[in-house]
Amino acid sequence: MSEIKFTEDHEWIRVEGDIGTIGITDYAQGQLGDVVYVELPAVGKQVSQGGDMAVVESVKAASEVYAPVSGEVLAANDTLSDKPECINGDAMGAGWFVKIKLKDKGELAKLMDEAQYKSFIAGLA
């Protein structure tokens, strides 16, 4: 069974075993507007929790995407190179950014669950 966690920077991670799929939340894509470009890390890159992982650009702004946990990039969603708008259409599905092998599952404890995240974004309004 997968578990989804969220960061205060609006990234999500869906964990299955020791593999995490990462993207930005629906709230984040809504704030960005139409996504026009995504820069993803190379396979094999080591990322650190809270460190720069990717860049997403929209008609409104460019924004860093931070790694919710530390690990090694196993796969990048190459579809986003040609169709970055997938993020707007399905931010938490087809619009995923990378899959990583988690270095320390204990880092997940620093993240919010779905109820905590919904409460967090409600407080931003």
Report pTM: 0.95
Q: 76-120 pLDDT, tens per residue?
A: 999 999 999 999 999 999 999 999 999 999 999 999 999 999 999
**10 Å Cβ neighbour count for 36?**
15
C-beta separation of 116 from 50 below 8 A: no
Rounded CA Rg of the chain: 13
User: What does the angle CA 70 – CA 74 – CA 75 come to, to the nearest 5 degrees?
Assistant: 120
Q: Could you give the 3-state DSSP secondary structure of residue 60?
A: coil
Determine the Cα angle at 114 with ends 10 and 28, to 5°. 20
Q: Which domains does the chain have, with CATH numbers?
A: 3-122 (2.40.50.100)
